[in-house]
Chain A
Amino acid sequence: DAGITQSPRHKVTETGTPVTLRCHQTENHRYMYWYRQDPGHGLRLIHYSYGVKDTDKGEVSDGYSVSRSKTEDFLLTLESATSSQTSVYFCAIRARGGGLLMGYGYTFGSGTRLTVV
């Protein structure tokens, strides 16, 4: 396991409240990602980070912000939660495999199930 921990695992929140999800890794990986998973859509990229304080938007970034103040933590914030943000959120890290030909592997956390009521 790549040592990825997501918290909380489950959360119910009210529309309009801010919510922060945390992704913590223990292996000093440079690249970290936030995806959301919805039925019929697969996984879609929200934001990603390629280093401390280096982040960029993904396909579905509207309504979300991220921060990475240290290598091990990547935070996803919903500034004002809406019902359309009810989803399962997965954090992922990208790790280099062994040798030049191994390429990168992506490992996913256990997920956070968020319900906005």
Chain B
Amino acid sequence: ELKVEQNPLFLSMQEGKNYTIYCNYSTTSDRLYWYRQDPGKSLESLFVLLSNGAVKQEGRLMASLDTKARLSTLHITAAVHDLSATYFCAVEDYGGSQGNLIFGKGTKLSVKP
């Protein structure tokens, strides 16, 4: 059974600082997704990582995937208040099924001035 662990679950940052959110998963998969969710809203797709060593960047966010270590990271550079949200990683699971996403519990990020 595929399990996905994110840490930290809560993150309070000051503007301008850097930090990394970690996403570990328990069984083999080569497709990992990062989503952002604002309060009361749906999930917005940030990154799709499809192979070992994949790195994608968008603005102050950069995501990477190491399938051998079963680890993805979401790095935040010089945080700004607008990045405050909950971030989820999700791993695509094909074990015995047609495929679906298994989510981590999310990291609630708060960026303070």
Contact = CB atoms under 8 A, between A and B. Distances in A.
A64 B102 CA distance: 19
Interface in B31-46: 31, 33, 35, 41-43, 45
Interface residues of A, number: 28
A108 B42 contact: yes
Interface of B: 31, 33, 35, 41-43, 45, 48, 50-51, 88, 90, 92, 97-106
Contact of B105 (A40, A45, A111): A40
Interface string A84-117: 0000001010100100011111111111000000
A109 B44 CA distance: 10
A45 B100 contact: yes
A43 B103 contact: yes
A31 B98 contact: yes
Given A31-B98, A103-B31, A104-B31, A44 B103 contact: yes
Given A42-B88, A90-B42, A102-B50, A58 B31 contact: no
Contacts of A50: 98
B98 A48 contact: yes
Nearest to A6: B42
Contact of A56 (B48, B98, B101, B103): B98
21 contacts: A31-B99, A42-B88, A42-B106, A43-B103, A48-B97, A48-B98, A48-B100, A50-B98, A56-B98, A92-B101, A94-B99, A101-B51, A102-B50, A104-B31, A105-B45, A106-B33, A106-B101, A108-B35, A108-B42, A108-B43, A109-B42
Interface string A65-101: 0000000000000000000000000101010010001
A92 B35 CA distance: 13
A44 B31 CA distance: 18
A94 B93 CA distance: 13
B57 to A, nearest CB: 18
Given A42-B103, A102-B50, A56 B97 contact: yes
